Amino acid sequence: MRFYTTVFNMCIPNPTGGNCFVLYEKYNKIFEEYITTKVLPSLQGKKDEALLQELEKRWSNHNAMNRWLSRFFHYLHRYFVPVRQVPPLKEAGLLSFYNLIFGEMNNQVRDAVLSMIDREREGEDIDQALVKNVLAIYVDFGQGSMKYYEKDFEEAMFKDTASFYSTKASNWLKNESYKDYMLKVECCLKHERDTVSGYLQNRSQERLLEIVENELLSVYASELKEKKQTDAFPLTEKSI
């Protein structure tokens, strides 16, 4: 209550200017200094799952900090923010984290998530909750919009999925019978539907399955038709 009262007393003489400008800048500066001196160094140098675990922890701490500071500076939110048309306090806190952390490390974070998804596709057990929580950060940034999830993760995930299953299809066509190939396709689709879709956003699921079907079935439709015929009549040519 003491912090709120201090902010109130500083702002009340001029609720839309004066000290409010200073306090709003200070609010943003608090996040900038904390993120650049504490959060970013804790993530740099980490890779793969260790990076995601640290990010999950730091994001949780950041949300708590953002929540409490926005309460202390609530007077700014009520009067200064709407008049000056600046980002609301909680949004400003989110944008600080996004710009300073994901602006520098999104590629590493995204690739670490994609690596875990691919490892699970290969049959490895992974920490699904960790993947889901990290992907939720992209959604949180948007505050109801999916724009960060789409541009910073989803498109890369679709490309990675296409590449993964394109490689699988090529290998299986060379080494598997038609029946075994189709069984593998069925297993892959079930995995994507039941497992991967569990930690992706709902909007990703339909297109994800379309990509898997395309890479495993549509791209090689003529080859699969030929393989089916060959497997059904393996001795035809010799008999003639």
pLDDT digits (tens, 9 = 90+) for 129-170: 999 999 999 999 998 899 999 999 999 999 999 999 999 999
Asked whether residue 127 is assigned to any structural domain, the reply reads: no
Task: Quickly tell me which residue has 């200094």 as its tokens.
Answer: 33
pLDDT-derived band at 84, boundaries 50, 70, 90? confident
Mean pLDDT (the chain, rounded):
89
Say whether both 82 and 161 belong to one domain.
no
How much is the pLDDT for 144? 84
What does the pLDDT average to over 33-56?
Answer: 97
> Is the pLDDT reported for residue 72 higher than 70?
yes
Mean pLDDT value of segment 199-223:
93
Torsion of CA 104, 110, 112, 113, to 10 degrees: 150
User: Is the same domain home to 2 and 98?
Assistant: yes
Q: Which domain holds residue 82?
A: 1-105
In a shared domain, residues 6 and 99: yes
Distance CA 218, CA 224 (A): 9
Q: What is the mean pLDDT of residues 48-77?
A: 90
pLDDT, one tens digit per residue, over 104-124 is 999 999 999 999 999 999 999
**Which tens digits make up the pLDDT trace of 165-199?**
999 999 999 999 999 999 999 999 999 998 887 88
**CATH code assigned at 226:** 1.20.1310
How many domains does the chain fold into?
A: 2
Is residue 129, in this structure, part of any structural domain at all?
no
Task: For residues 59 and 42, give the distance between their C-alpha atoms in angstroms, rounded to a whole number.
Answer: 12
- Among 105, 125, 160, which residue terminates a domain? 105
CATH number at residue 88: 1.20.1310.10
Task: Pick the closest to residue 111 from 160, 44, 42 (CA basis).
Answer: 160
Residue bearing the bigger pLDDT, 221 or 16: 221
**pLDDT tens digits for range 30-39:** 999 999 999 9
Count CB atoms within 10 A of the CB of residue 160: 18
- What whole-number percentage of the chain has pLDDT above 70? 88
In this structure, which amino acid lies at residue 34? Answer: Y
Judge whether 12 lies within some domain: yes
Which residues have a Cβ under 8 Å from the Cβ of 183 and sit 6 or more positions away? none
DSSP string, 140-171: HHHTT--HHHIIIIIHHHHHHHHHHHHHHHHH
Mean pLDDT of 47-58: 97
Instruction: Tell which wins on pLDDT, 80 or 126.
Output: 126
Report the C-alpha gap between 169 and 219 in whole angstroms: 9
CB 31 within 8 A of CB 58: no
Q: CA 84, CA 133: separation in Å to the nearest integer?
A: 34
Asked, for residue 160, whether it belongs to a domain, the answer is yes
pLDDT the model gives residue 37: 97
Give the whole-angstrom CA distance, residue 172 versus residue 177: 8
The confidence score (pLDDT) of residue 81 equals 74
Selected residue with higher pLDDT from 113 and 232: 113
For every residue of 121-148, DSSP letters joined together read: HTT----HHHHHHHHHHHHHHHTT--HH
